[in-house]
Structure 1
Amino acid sequence: MSERETPWDAVGERVRELRGAAGLTVRELARRIGVSASHVSQVERGIGSFSVPALYAVAAELGVPMHDILDPQAPPAPPVAPALAPGGGDLVSAGIVQRAPDHPSIKLSSGPRWSRLTAMGEPDAEFLEVVYAPGTDAPAEHIVHQGREYGVVISGRLSVELRGEATVLHPGDSIVFDSAIPHRFWNSGDEEVRAIWFVRDRKANDPVPHA
């Protein structure tokens, strides 16, 4: 299955645009997300890429949903879904169905490949296919961000660690947790891991989980 991969030079251009609009220097954005200024500069020039934790941190600092960075060329989602004509209509044009070759995807630094499974960005959620290459070590960084995650493994065996407790998810296993809990994923097996992931953004008035 071929997909529409987002090149990192397009991502970098979008990050530079958003950073400028926010009035942040390269050095200040780097300080806020915990990476070097040279790393941010490399990403903005299309010769570097962010890790999963860094990408979440960038989106949070720049005040944009993740899909705005994942697929910067996509039009914004309309506030109301397009209506279908009586008796049917073109589900693809209406943004209801997305064909497999049209999934925008991006390869994260030393991490998984994300493919967005919605035709347009959802305002409060991310619906993704996540693919982990085999034979990878546990990442040094834990991921922490706002939201709640729901995942199910389709193939392979995915190692999961939440707040120091680790387990392995097998095909058909599912997981639900609050994204504010430090977490990380990796694939130490010899088979590619495919999983479907749904991340719901947290609203300001949502209850905060107990740490």
Structure 2
Amino acid sequence: MLKIIHECGDNRAKDRPMDEAFDVGARLKQLRLSRGLSQRELAKRAGVTNSTISLVEQNNVSPSVSSLKKILDALPVSISAFFAGDEPSQPQSFYRQGELTEIGDGQLSWQLVAARRPDRRMSIIYERYPPGADSGEEMLEHDGEEGGVVVAGQIEITVNGEVGVLSAGDAYYFDSRLPHRFRNTGDEECVIVSASTPPTFSDAGQEQHHA
């Protein structure tokens, strides 16, 4: 069931290097119509209610990362393509902070490196979780492996029912096909630098979603 976050619109705007907030509703509607899908059909494919799709397209609610991924998998469209646009960019070696693509949900920030690189074979993400933020009530599952190092703060990670609380300097590495979830249960922002390969979380069409 879709997790709704009512207060995330302004936060998403602050995380993006642009004057206006990203229009999630308009982008979802444009992709849905380009594939000839009704709201009812997309909702059926994604396993959510018709009203959920309607509310998201009207920007009346904002889905968590896991819930948005579930909807995009039904199109299918990758999270990185959703936020970065479908046109690939020329490969480059260096990226300034403003060139990273925000794929978070406004409550948490996930900034993806080289989102539109056509031959990208891994995902590197700069993650920021304010107190209380989490990746969604539904567990994430996708092909590949992922790992990361906590740079600051504290994070609670659940992997296949096992719960670990990591602090700055601690690290994790697991099979991404196992159901997993990230939550900041502390009272300060948590910062993580993570990597996954293949980049199946943000590249739909190659992944299998089990939620």
SS in 1 for 2:45: helix
Aligned twin of 1:32 = 45
2:142 maps to a residue whose letter is: H
2:146 equivalent to 1:132: no
User: Unmatched 5+ residue regions in structure 2?
Assistant: 1-13
Shift of 1:8: 4.1
Aligned twin of 1:115 = 111
Q: Distance in 2 between matches of 1:194 and 1:53?
A: 19
Can you list the C-alpha shifts for 1:80-101, whole angstroms capped at 9, x where unaligned?
x4xxxxxxxxxxxxx3222123
Aligned twin of 1:21 = 34
SS in 2 for 1:43: helix
Shift of 1:143: 1.6
SS in 1 for 2:195: strand
Shift of 1:121: 4.1
2:89 equivalent to 1:77: yes
Shift of 1:129: 1.0
SS in 1 for 2:62: coil
Q: Distance in 1 between matches of 2:144 and 2:181?
A: 15
Task: Determine if contact 2:67/2:138 at 8 Å carries over to the other structure.
Answer: no
So what's the TM-score if we normalise by structure 2? 0.74
Task: Determine if contact 2:81/2:115 at 8 Å carries over to the other structure.
Answer: no
Task: Determine if contact 1:68/1:121 at 8 Å carries over to the other structure.
Answer: no
Task: Determine if contact 1:33/1:58 at 8 Å carries over to the other structure.
Answer: yes
Judged with a 3 Å threshold, the aligned counterparts in structure 2 of structure 1 residues 16 and 147 are, in CA distance, closer, same or farther, namely farther
Which stretch shows the higher mean deviation, 11-20 or 157-166?
11-20
Aligned twin of 1:201 = 199
Aligned twin of 1:178 = 175
Q: Distance in 2 between matches of 1:177 and 1:15?
A: 31
SS in 2 for 1:62: coil
Aligned counterpart in structure 1 of residue 62 of structure 2, from 42, 49, 72: 49
Q: Comparing both chains, which one has the higher relative contact order based on Cα–Cα distances under 8 Å and sequence gaps of 6 or more?
A: 2
Judged with a 3 Å threshold, the aligned counterparts in structure 2 of structure 1 residues 98 and 51 are, in CA distance, closer, same or farther, namely same
**Where does 1:70-109 land on structure 2 (aligned, <5 Å)?**
70-72=83-85, 75-78=87-90, 81=91, 95-108=92-105
Q: Between the two proteins, what is the percent identity of the paired residues?
A: 32
Coordinate RMSD, CA, aligned: 3.0
2:111 maps to a residue whose letter is: S
Shift of 1:29: 1.7
User: Unmatched 5+ residue regions in structure 1?
Assistant: 82-94
Judged with a 3 Å threshold, the aligned counterparts in structure 2 of structure 1 residues 77 and 146 are, in CA distance, closer, same or farther, namely farther
Q: Distance in 2 between matches of 1:2 and 1:16?
A: 23
Q: Distance in 2 between matches of 1:101 and 1:138?
A: 23
Judged with a 3 Å threshold, the aligned counterparts in structure 2 of structure 1 residues 168 and 101 are, in CA distance, closer, same or farther, namely same
Aligned pair count reads 187
